[in-house]
């Protein structure tokens, strides 16, 4: 498939077209949506990356990593959605890494927001046209591309083998080991079954996105309360230690003053004893002189 970089250039002669075997075929987002029987509407998400990563990981990660989010930090539901998205909608060589585009895509799917899948797929295909360093690049979505082309009259050569796409999602047992936060209960949040017998009118459930944000806010509040409690306990402990330290300093000052007094007293006693000894020696000399005179 000869997909060129100018296929996404608005002023290009063959905008959203691809040349295959002497014929031009449409490969636009609208064509892809038509083949998939989807609408082109897309719900924009005004959310910071830090809020997004907190939602995807249930606050295990609160700052978006510069090198991308590792899949082991995702919740159980987002981990499964990543496997499905990485197989069907946004295939990637590194299946265990969530980049920004994938993160917002997973958030929209989980919260049942409108996604322009045709634009997502087309943009992903166009990203492969920039990989000029590789000698040969195989585009993703082989079944989709073949279906879109055959819908426009493309026919393979006689005896040209059509290979079956064997790349499909398989359940990874690591998802059931309990390392991911279990948020499967959020999947059951839905409106009551229409037609159920009840005396009170049915009240629609709030949007899943609202439920998720409420849960995240509650989790953050709990974390902040724990931090505040921990800080208060540490402040009380520090005040107690300061009081004890002050008592030790006072006792040190008292004992040092007493020790100085004792040393001064001992010095005075030593000086007095020395004076008495000198007087005794003077008396002995006088007696000796008197005896010598006699």
Give me the residue spans of the domains in the chain.
5-155+167-186, 206-272
Q: What is the mean pLDDT of residues 251-258?
A: 91
3-state SS of 79-140 is HHHHHHHHHHCCCCCCCCEECHHHHHHHHHHHCCCCCCHHHHHHHHHHHHHHCCCCCCCCCC
Q: Is a pLDDT exceeding 80 seen at residue 54?
A: yes
Q: What is the pLDDT of residue 32?
A: 92
What is residue 56's predicted lDDT score, i.e. its pLDDT?
Answer: 92
What does the pLDDT average to over 1-10? 78
85-125 pLDDT, tens digit per residue, is 988 888 887 878 899 999 999 999 888 888 999 999 998 88
pLDDT at 132 over 50: yes
In this prediction the pTM is: 0.57
Mean pLDDT of 67-74: 90
**For the stretch 229-255, what's the b/e string if a residue is b when 16 or more beta carbons lie within 10 angstroms of its beta carbon?**
eeeeeeeeeeeeeeeeeeeeeeeeeee
For the stretch 175-216, pLDDT in tens is 556 677 777 777 765 434 334 444 444 445 556 667 667 767
Task: Tell me the C-alpha to C-alpha distance, in Å, between residue 163 and each of 128, 143, 167.
Answer: 22, 10, 12
Q: Mean pLDDT, to the nearest integer, of 3-10?
A: 80
pLDDT tens-digit map of 213-246? 776 777 677 677 777 888 888 888 888 888 888 9
Q: Supply the pLDDT for residue 31.
A: 92
């Amino acid at each position: 498939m000869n997909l060129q970089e100018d296929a996404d250039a608005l002023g290009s002669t063959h905008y959203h077209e691809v040349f295959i075997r002497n014929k031009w075929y449409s490969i636009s987002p609208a064509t892809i949506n038509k083949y998939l029987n989807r609408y082109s509407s897309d719900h924009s998400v005004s959310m910071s990356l830090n809020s997004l990563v907190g939602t995807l990981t249930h606050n295990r990660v609160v700052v978006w990593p510069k090198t991308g989010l590792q899949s082991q930090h995702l919740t159980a539901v987002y981990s499964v959605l990543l496997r499905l998205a990485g197989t069907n909608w946004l295939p990637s060589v590194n299946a265990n890494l969530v980049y920004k585009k994938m993160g917002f895509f997973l958030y929209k799917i989980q919260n049942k927001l409108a996604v322009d899948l045709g634009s997502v797929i087309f943009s992903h295909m166009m990203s492969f046209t920039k990989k000029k360093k590789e000698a040969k690049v195989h585009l993703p979505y082989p079944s989709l591309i073949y279906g879109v082309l055959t819908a426009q009259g493309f026919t393979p050569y006689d005896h040209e083998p059509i290979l079956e796409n064997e790349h499909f999602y398989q359940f990874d047992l690591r998802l059931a080991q309990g390392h991911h936060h279990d948020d499967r209960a959020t999947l059951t949040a839905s409106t009551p079954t229409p037609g159920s017998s009840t005396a009170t009118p049915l009240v629609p459930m709030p949007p899943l996105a609202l439920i998720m944000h409420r849960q995240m806010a509650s989790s953050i509040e709990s974390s902040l309360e724990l931090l505040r409690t921990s800080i208060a306990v540490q402040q009380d402990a520090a005040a107690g230690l300061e009081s004890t330290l002050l008592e030790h300093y006072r006792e040190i000052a008292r004992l040092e003053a007493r020790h100085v007094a004792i040393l001064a007293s001992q010095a005075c006693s030593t000086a007095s004893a020395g004076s008495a000894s000198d007087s005794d020696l003077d008396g002995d000399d006088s007696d000796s002189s008197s005896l010598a005179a006699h």
